[in-house]
A = this chain, B = another copy of it.
Amino acid sequence: MSKTTIQDIARVAGVSKSTVSRVLNGTAAVNPEKKKAVLEAIDRLGFKPNLIASSLAGGRSMTIGVVTQLIGSPFYDTIAQGVVAELHETDYSPIFADGQWQATEELEAIQALMGRRVDGLVLIGGSLPGDEISDLCGDLPTVIVARQFSGRGNICISMDNELGSYQLTKHLIDKGHRKIAVVRGLEHHRDATDRFDGYQRALRDNGIGLDSRLVYQGDFSAESGMAAVDNLLAEKVEFTAVVAANDLTAFGVRLALHHHNVAVPEQVSIVGFDDQLETSFTIPPLTTLRQPAREMGSQASKALLEMIAGNNFSSKVFQGELVLRESVAEIAR
């Protein structure tokens, strides 16, 4: 551990601490010769400034708090990656705390990060009410990713889930499908309800009535996709396509259909949501809606840095991109 301090450098270079600090931060002009002496001393002693001390003195910690919800979801993981990657170029370091999709945990996580005097906060997902977040964070720059908010004064980087689901459903309708089953995501989860809304709007816009027998309440898991299919088949409900809550659920749907010897896409078409890495390699490759997860993460970091710099930044809603692959077939009407 480099125990050398700014004081040591000052002594070796024959200047004062103040001067060393000025060289380090370029806060003021210094005599070129002294500057050289300082730099040499730094190099020779292998000095690394103690960021903790500098945080305390400077009032800025150069850290960004990131609150995750540690469910091994590729989507959220990718967002986190984007956040970290974007910060990588800067002098800020991300410091993590986890909320586990539970309000109390999330609150603790935020408080822990604030105790560390982070300069900004990125919340990825989460279940804490918007206003509570505002109260908690006060004037601490805060960005919320993958979540849309009605709360006051928060910046959100989110996805238009309703539209995405609308597009997917519309795509199926355009291909001639009218008996379209849906596997919903986690109950009360905003993303899930938005997607379901998009599904409904697409049906409505095309004069197709909502058939409750085609709606299955899932939870974003593959298992719920399988259960949905088992259920549909057991009940002998006719359907030619399935809108899955996300890709993982679509995997489950697809596997269950396989078990029941239903051909995809010949007999039943499937669409997912997310476009996670594996979807291009399933059989058949899955038609889905790409969420720009990594980009959302890096956008969140960018927004936060702007806010910290004192600039304005407004919320951004991303639109997904329909990725057509082979899991949807056209059918005769």
Contacts and interface: CB of A to CB of B under 8 A. Distances in A.
Given A50-B117, A254-B281, A278-B278, A94 B96 contact: yes
Interface string A58-82: 0001010000101010100110010
A197 to B, nearest CB: 27
Contacts of A63: 95, 116
A189 to B, nearest CB: 19
A323 interface: no
Interface stretch (A32-40, A107-115, A169-177): A107-115
A283 B270 CA distance: 15
Interface string A87-110: 010000111111000000000000
Contact of A98 (B53, B88, B98, B294): B88
A28 to B, nearest CB: 23
A74 B258 CA distance: 26
A115 B248 CA distance: 41
B52 A222 contact: no
Given A56-B53, A95-B96, A283-B254, A70 B61 contact: no
A255 B281 CA distance: 6
A213 interface: no
Contacts of A50: 56, 115, 117
Contacts of A85: 70, 98
A93 B95 contact: yes
A214 to B, nearest CB: 22
A112 B85 CA distance: 15
A163 interface: no
A61 B55 CA distance: 12
Contacts of A114: 1-2, 48
Interface residues of A, number: 54
A55 B88 CA distance: 24
A117 to B, nearest CB: 5
A81 B71 CA distance: 8
A124 to B, nearest CB: 13
Contact of A93 (B1, B116, B140): B116
A21 to B, nearest CB: 15
B283 A255 contact: yes
Interface string A255-280: 10010000000000000000001101
Contact of A81 (B70, B88, B278): B70
A98 B88 CA distance: 7
Contact of A278 (B49, B70, B248): B248
B283 A258 contact: yes
A16 to B, nearest CB: 21
Given A95-B95, A258-B284, 4 more contacts: A53-B56, A72-B77, A72-B294, A222-B278
11 contacts: A1-B139, A49-B115, A51-B117, A52-B55, A72-B77, A74-B74, A88-B98, A95-B96, A248-B278, A251-B282, A258-B284
